Amino acid sequence: MVYTTYWLLRARFRWQNAMLLVASYVFYGYWDWRFCLLLLLSSLVDYVIGRQMHASEDPRRRKLLLLVSLGVNLGVLGFFKYFNFFAESFAPMFTALGMEPDAVTLNIILPVGISFYTFQTLSYTIDIYRRELKPVNNLLDFALFVSFFPQLVAGPIERARHLLPQVCSPRTIRADQVQAGLWLILWGYFKKTVVADNAAVIANQAFNNYTEQSGMGLALGALAFAVQIFCDFSAYSDIARGLSKLMGFDLMVNFRLPYFAVSPSDFWRRWHISLSTWLRDYLYIPLGGNRGGKLFVMRNLMITMLLGGLWHGAAWNFVLWGAFHGLILVIYRALPNGDGSSLRGPTRWVVRGGMMAVMFVLTLIGWVLFRATGVRDAAGNLVHTSMDQITFFFTNLTPTYTAQDLTNGYDLMFFVLPMLLINILQERSGDLLVVNRLPLIPRGLVWGLLLVAIIVFGVREPSEFIYFQF
Amino acid sequence: MSLQTPYQPPDETLHPASPAQILVLLAMVGLLVVASNAVAWGVLKVASPNISDVQVVRKWDLLERGGVVDTLILGDSTGNQGLDPAQLDAMIGGRSLNLCTLGNFMLVDDAWMLQRYIERHGPPRRVVLVHAANVWNRPVHPASFATIPMGLGEMGRRVPSVTFKTKQKVEFLMRRYIPIYYADQSLRLMAMRPWLVPRVRPVITERGFMPRSGAASPEVIEGDVNEAVDEYERRKFGVARVNEAALHEIVRLAESGDFPIYYVDAMVSDRLVDVPAYRQQVDALHAYLRGLGGDRIKIVLDQPIGFADEYMQDSEHITVEAAAKYTEAVGLRIMEIGAGETESKP
């Protein structure tokens, strides 16, 4: 219905914007209408601040306005996302001091996608502060930029200077864009329903009943989660980008085959690119970036990755995950540079394959930290902490297996292999849309087979995208 | 290509397309889905691993090609794997055919099968009806009915008449004609573990008996019994209107053909047999049948037969070993009842 109306309004892009804004608020309010108020608050504050900041020549006033924007946005984010975490984490300290911590912990519901749109709107005020962007004159346009429904709840985190110009001008819908958009939607649904949701069964089995797993069961669980989180998150990005393309919008690429990375820095050029580049531009570089001594750069890397981990969620396992990635970035930085590209012949592939394998194992270790959110019983009580899970995983990776592990391994391969074949084609060609380069008949065959696979092998029970919780 | 130096992660390149090309592409995708559906339909027809589907198709096929019999056994899945016609024949004589299908068809397909049989061969000597106590008040389930090899129109014309609302018709037609969607679990098994298909496909004898071996674990049976008890405690005894119409039709056919109907309670786990809520349902059902059928309906078992865990696959389905005992008990009672009252011949 939204798309038909959008199409009918194609001669009037402002009407299209108004319709998309309504659709976005309805979509977001579907979870809880009160969340829309937060979205509105964020939009109003940054719209007003952006204009005032641009109009002002007084550096102190501009800085003050930026601080207000940061304060409001990060304050709301901090309250909803991190209050319980800090209150619970520091409760033992309060108790030791003779204080009663129970009253501090509130039952706060986390608004869906708050981390995504907060970072998106912050990019607007920071860019205006840096004089890299002019403010928009139309509140409706700005509100749409903040709430644009395809990417509102799980990204990509768009930059104001990339998305706003598209919002503020008429869009044209071209056939090549439509083809790319349809492919991205199909590919996204395939990754989500066929690969991610089937891998989730194996991953959940391993992480929720980790004490009953063999060594291979644990390793397979970590592998299944690596598959699940990549396919789940990148699927959302693909679908969001595909839908946007059908409406003439172009959102940034968020994933570039991260498991083909040969080093941590390569991984972060490929994984959740909209967040990693945001952290690079608005945190790492302002901290000093690569300038200064080695220790200074390492500090910047660690701070950036720790905060990147914390962005994912208010839990120690995410902090650990961030710290782990910071650490491997620091270690790789100390190693000699190279990705095997200077070598020739088979040696090149062996070296590069080896580097990929090492990086993939490191990524898996990271995912164990990330996924270890603890185990709760039916009543919601924490029966195993994150640390229990992490310790068990890394101390029980023995060469033992059960018949169930073999079945799970086979199932995982069954669902992953078709995707992997296309991924290899994408990596080798350097083109994520390589399938659309195929002649019409093989292209139709690939598209059709993916649709058939979704119908037959797709998991039908509704399951939310993992990154909705962030 | 990413083979340039140094390596760059892949990027997106838009590839030229025209609206006509996209339409052709979408048409190809649609055709491929339709073709896959047709292939799935054909493959499932000959090698479906779905026990229920195979059972229904086979039973209706036996009805058409099974010839004249003395005893027609109708009912649900409990009778399907609980009553062995060959063993019954050795006890009561004549030739019998087990056409029991699924609980979701309730008594509706019993009536339809009996009509079809009489249309072809005239009345049988006797009908044995076997049902679990929980089928009497179920709603009509369009997706289940879609597996009966009968058109929507005929279902509406037969007695009892089964008609569907538009949404149910869509569900019915999708279940029947879009196996790629509705038979996804069967297709998954065939694609992912084809070597298991021969093992899960049921064996049904030429007399319609489906022997099942392998008892379930006591935990599984206990869980299933608990669910059944919950259900019996929650729902008072009742008979769905369509079931009542079906039973009226069966009794009418029995009156006009002058043959008796032997009603047999399905076997149950001995964990369930003495549960008050279950027994109340059975007693209420017997009273209802006596009230509706008079002398035409003969209650074979005064109380259901319970079996130990080692013979059960869940709360009310037995293994082939227990089926022999169950058939023996039912056969003996039919003989007793038959000796007491002269059975009329067709």
Asked which of A210-219, A460-469, B209-218 is least confident by mean pLDDT, the reply is A460-469
Looking at residue B40, its pLDDT comes to 96
Question: Which of B7, B12, B187 lies closest to A456 in CB terms?
Answer: B187
Distance between terminal CA atoms of chain A?
28
Give the residues across from B127 on adjacent strands.
B72, B261
Please name the residue that has the structure tokens 């962005």.
A311
pLDDT above 60: residue B174: yes
Looking at residue A29, its pLDDT comes to 87
Q: What are phi and psi of A31, to 5 degrees?
A: -70, -50
Overall average pLDDT of the B172-193 stretch: 94
Determine the residue of chain B that is closest to A271 in CA distance: B9
Give the residues across from A448 on adjacent strands.
none
pLDDT above 90: residue B298: yes
Overall average pLDDT of the B4-11 stretch: 72
Rounded CA-CA distance A308/A305 in Å is 5
- pLDDT exceeding 90 applies to what percent of chain A? 63
pLDDT above 60: residue A235: yes
Tell me the average pLDDT of chain A. 88
Q: Give the residue numbers of A annotated as catalytic, written as ranges.
A: 312
Long-range contacts of B46-50 (CB under 8 A, 24+ apart): B47/B190, B47/B197, B47/B201, B48/B183, B48/B186, B48/B201, B49/B186, B49/B189, B49/B190, B49/B196, B49/B197, B49/B200, B49/B201, B50/B183, B50/B185, B50/B186
Overall average pLDDT of the B34-39 stretch: 97
Determine the residue of chain A that is closest to B32 in CA distance: A448
Looking at residue A237, its pLDDT comes to 95
> Cβ–Cβ contacts within 10 Å for residue B215, how many?
20
Residues in chain A: 470
Looking at residue A40, its pLDDT comes to 92
Q: Which residues of A touch B195 (CB under 8 A)?
A: none
Tell me the average pLDDT of chain B. 92
Overall average pLDDT of the B25-38 stretch: 97
pLDDT tens digits, one per residue of A425-464: 999 999 999 999 999 999 999 999 999 999 999 998 777 6
Give the list of residues 6+ apart from residue A404 with CB closer than 8 angstroms, or none. A217
Any CB–CB contact under 8 A between A424 and chain B? no
Give the list of residues 6+ apart from residue A160 with CB closer than 8 angstroms, or none. A120, A123, A124, A127, A133, A145
In this structure, what is the dihedral angle of CA atoms B125, B131, B133, B137, given to the nearest 10 degrees? Answer: -100
pLDDT above 70: residue B307: yes
Residues in chain B: 346
Selected residues 145-164 of chain A with any CB under 8 Å from a CB in chain B? none
Contact criterion met (CB < 8 Å) for B15 and A179: yes
Looking at residue A170, its pLDDT comes to 93
Contact criterion met (CB < 8 Å) for A456 and B188: yes
Looking at residue B161, its pLDDT comes to 96
Distances (CA, A) of A381 to A95, A210, A374, A376, A377: 20, 17, 10, 5, 5
CB contact at 8 A, A419 and A191: yes
Contact criterion met (CB < 8 Å) for A180 and B15: yes
H helix or E strand, kind and range, residue B97:
strand B96-98
Looking at residue A391, its pLDDT comes to 86
Any CB–CB contact under 8 A between B25 and chain A? yes
Rounded CA-CA distance A184/A246 in Å is 10
Asked which of A389-398, A420-429, B5-14, B327-336 is least confident by mean pLDDT, the reply is B5-14
Contact criterion met (CB < 8 Å) for A440 and B13: no
Any CB–CB contact under 8 A between B12 and chain A? yes
Burial readout B15-47 (b: 16 or more C-beta within 10 A, e: otherwise):
bebeeeeeeebeebbeebbeebbeebeeebeee
The DSSP output letter for A382 is E
User: Which three-class secondary structure state does DSSP give residue B47?
Assistant: helix
Overall average pLDDT of the B143-165 stretch: 95
Rounded CA-CA distance A408/B245 in Å is 49
Rounded CA-CA distance B209/B85 in Å is 7
Rounded CA-CA distance A92/B203 in Å is 65
Of A53, A200, A241, the closest CA to residue A131 belongs to A53
Give the list of residues 6+ apart from residue B274 with CB closer than 8 angstroms, or none. B306
Contact criterion met (CB < 8 Å) for B180 and A447: no
CB contact at 8 A, A175 and A245: no
Looking at residue A109, its pLDDT comes to 66
User: Which three-class secondary structure state does DSSP give residue B129?
Assistant: strand
pLDDT tens digits, one per residue of A171-184: 998 999 999 999 99
pLDDT above 60: residue B51: yes
pLDDT above 50: residue B1: no
Q: Which of the two residues, A341 and B102, has the higher pLDDT score? A: B102
| Interface A:B, Cβ pairs < 8 A | 122
pLDDT tens digits, one per residue of A139-197: 999 999 999 989 887 879 999 999 999 999 999 989 999 999 999 999 999 999 999 99
Looking at residue A300, its pLDDT comes to 92
- pLDDT exceeding 90 applies to what percent of chain B? 87
Q: Which residues of A touch B192 (CB under 8 A)?
A: 410-411, 414
Tokens (6 digits) for B216: 């379930």
Determine the residue of chain B that is closest to A429 in CA distance: B1
Q: How confident is the model at residue A326 (pLDDT cuts 50, 70, 90)?
A: very high
Distance from the Cα of B105 to chain A's closest Cα (Å) equals: 26
Asked which of A26-40, A80-94, A200-214, B128-142 is least confident by mean pLDDT, the reply is A80-94
**Residue B250, Cβ density class (10 Å: 0-12 exposed, 13-18 middle, ≥19 buried):** buried
Question: Which of A175, A437, A456 lies closest to B22 in CB terms?
Answer: A175
Q: How confident is the model at residue A312 (pLDDT cuts 50, 70, 90)?
A: confident
Tokens (6 digits) for A297: 């750069």
Looking at residue A340, its pLDDT comes to 66
Any CB–CB contact under 8 A between B14 and chain A? yes
Selected residues 168-197 of chain A with any CB under 8 Å from a CB in chain B? 175-180, 182
pLDDT tens digits, one per residue of A82-107: 776 666 666 666 566 665 555 444 45
Rounded CA-CA distance B69/B97 in Å is 7
Looking at residue B345, its pLDDT comes to 46
Contact criterion met (CB < 8 Å) for B36 and A428: no
Q: How confident is the model at residue B346 (pLDDT cuts 50, 70, 90)?
A: very low
H helix or E strand, kind and range, residue A383:
strand A382-384
pLDDT tens digits, one per residue of B241-269: 999 999 999 999 999 999 999 999 999 99
Q: Which residues of A touch B180 (CB under 8 A)?
A: 452, 455-456
Any CB–CB contact under 8 A between A339 and chain B? yes
Distance from the Cα of A24 to chain B's closest Cα (Å) equals: 27
Q: How confident is the model at residue A338 (pLDDT cuts 50, 70, 90)?
A: low
Looking at residue A470, its pLDDT comes to 59
Give the list of residues 6+ apart from residue B31 with CB closer than 8 angstroms, or none. A448
Overall average pLDDT of the A274-281 stretch: 94
Q: What are phi and psi of A130, to 5 degrees?
A: -80, 0
Rounded CA-CA distance A128/A68 in Å is 14
Determine the residue of chain B that is closest to A437 in CA distance: B15
Overall average pLDDT of the A113-131 stretch: 91
Determine the residue of chain B that is closest to A267 in CA distance: B9
Looking at residue B5, its pLDDT comes to 45
Give the list of residues 6+ apart from residue A5 with CB closer than 8 angstroms, or none. A19
pLDDT above 60: residue A368: yes
